[in-house]
Amino acid sequence: MPATNTFSSYGSVTKAFHWLTALLIFTALPLGWFANQLAHAIYDPSIPTTEEDIARAAQLFSLHKTVGITVFFVALGRILWAVTQTKPGLLNAENKPEAFAAETVHWMLYASLVLVPLTGWIHHAATEGFAPIFWPFGQNLPFVPKSPYVAEVTAGLHWLFICVLAGSLALHIMGALKHHVVDKDSTLRRMLPGHSDAPEPPAQHHSILPTFAALCIWGAVLIGGGMIGVFADHSKAHTDTTELAEVQSDWQVQDGTLSITITQLGSPVTGSFADWTAAIAFEDLSEPGLAGSVDVNVSIGSLTLGTVTDQAMGADFFDNNQFPTARFAADLYKTETGYEARGPLTIRDKTLDVVLPFDLALQGNTATVAGRLELNRLDFEIGATMPAEDSLAFAVSVTIDLTAIRAE
pLDDT interval class at 388 (50, 70, 90): confident
Three-state secondary-structure class, residue 316 = coil
Confidence (pLDDT) at 234: 59
3-state DSSP percent of the chain in helix, strand and coil, to 5:
40, 25, 35
99-114 average pLDDT score: 95
Query: What is the per-residue pLDDT for 244?
Result: 87
- Reduced to 3 states, what is the DSSP secondary structure of residue 267? strand
Position 45 scores a pLDDT of 62
Are 154 and 86 in contact by the 8 Å Cβ rule? The answer is: no
Quick check: do 12-227 and 251-406 share a fold?
no
Domain covering 251-406 assigned CATH 3.40.50.620 in the classification = no
Whole-angstrom Cα distance, residue 140 to residue 126?
8
Domain limits of the chain? 12-227, 251-406
Q: Can you give the C-alpha Rg of the chain in angstroms?
A: 29
As to burial, measured by CB atoms within 10 angstroms (0-12 exposed, 13-18 middle, 19+ buried), residue 258 is buried
> What is the reported pLDDT for 12?
94
Give the mean pLDDT of the chain. 91
Q: Per-residue pLDDT averaged across 31-55, rounded?
A: 80
pLDDT score for 235: 54
Check pLDDT > 70 for residue 102: yes
For range 379-406, the mean pLDDT:
92
- What local confidence, expressed as pLDDT, does residue 306 receive? 81
Looking at domain 12-227, which CATH architecture does it have? Up-down Bundle (1.20)
Provide the pLDDT for residue 237.
Answer: 45
Question: Which CB contacts under 8 angstroms, 24+ apart, belong to 54-59?
Answer: 54/386, 54/391, 54/392, 55/390, 55/391, 57/131, 58/131, 58/265, 58/391, 59/131
d(CA 163, CA 170) in angstroms, rounded, equals 11
> What percent of the chain is modeled with pLDDT above 70?
96
Residues with Cβ within 8 Å of 273's Cβ and at least 6 positions away in sequence, in order, are 258, 259, 260, 298, 299, 300, 302, 303
Other Cβ atoms less than 10 A from the Cβ of 377: the count is 19
203 half-sphere exposure, CB direction, 13 A CA radius: 0
Maximum CA extent, the chain: 97
Tens digit of each residue's pLDDT (9 = 90 or more) over 195-227: 777 788 988 887 899 999 999 999 999 999 999
Residue-wise over 66-79: b if at least 16 C-beta within 10 A, else e? bbbbbbbebbeebe
Looking at 50-147, list the stretches that DSSP marks H as alpha helix, in order from N- to C-terminal side: 51-83, 96-126
| Confidence label for 50 from pLDDT (cuts 50, 70 and 90) | confident
CB 382 within 8 A of CB 318: yes
Task: Tell me the pLDDT tens digit for each residue of 350-377.
Answer: 999 999 999 999 999 999 999 999 999 9
Residue from 328, 327, 319, 320 nearest 384 by CA:
319
